[in-house]
Amino acid sequence: MNPSAIVQIDQFLYYWFRNAEYSRCRICLDNLINGQTHVCSNTVRCAQCDGNYHSLSSECEKVIEYRSNLKEQVENALSAGKLQRLVPQDHVQPTEFRLKQNEFPSLPSLMSCTSPWKKTSAQSAVTNNINGIEDTTKILLSINQNILDMKDPMS
């Protein structure tokens, strides 16, 4: 089934239901009254012909007729040049990124001169981090040595 035909039929049904005197249940077609709870009978009925199938079913003669008319209208529009079919492209689109000149212009020179961070504080943070790593390494080596010392007396 053509997905565009389903959309067309669904839109038709939406407007039909919306413009009806009352909103109706999409399954049993009972009227829905605002403020009241609907208890559906779960007996499926077609909105077009009252048949025992869903409103978009291909069993419905009205749906079959609508699809046939829609298909004919599309074919007529194609032959008259009002519509054009999209033809898949034969070549594969490149998937790698290619930087084109001026696609990403550089920032103004004023931006490169000023820095939101102070260099001295950034440098001290790096130094503190390195010292922290050295301290952690010393602690781990000490723990490892303690474990080895504990194993020796057991041997």
pLDDT of residue 64: 93
Helices (H) and strands (E) in the chain, counts: 4, 2
The most confident of the ranges 96-100, 140-144, 147-151 is: 140-144
CB proximity list for 16: less than 8 A, separation 6 or greater: 47
Residues 125, 117 contacting (CB under 8 angstroms): no
What are the boundaries of each domain within the chain? 3-79
24-38, 85-99, 117-131: range with lowest mean pLDDT: 117-131
Q: State how far Cα 135 lies from the chain centre.
A: 48
With the C-alpha atoms ordered 15, 20, 26, 27, is the resulting torsion angle positive or negative?
negative
pLDDT of residue 98: 73
pLDDT of residue 130: 65
39: tokens are 């208890």
* pLDDT tens digits along 37-93: 888 888 999 988 889 998 888 999 999 999 999 999 999 999 998 888 877 766 666
Residue 11: pLDDT band by 50, 70, 90 thresholds? Answer: low
The reported pTM is 0.40
Q: What is the rounded CA–CA span in Å between residue 45 and residue 55?
A: 7
Q: What value does the mean pLDDT take over residues 129-153?
A: 80
CB proximity list for 148: less than 8 A, separation 6 or greater: none
CA distances in angstroms from 147 to 138, 144, 152, listed in the order given: 14, 5, 9
Residues 17, 32 contacting (CB under 8 angstroms): no
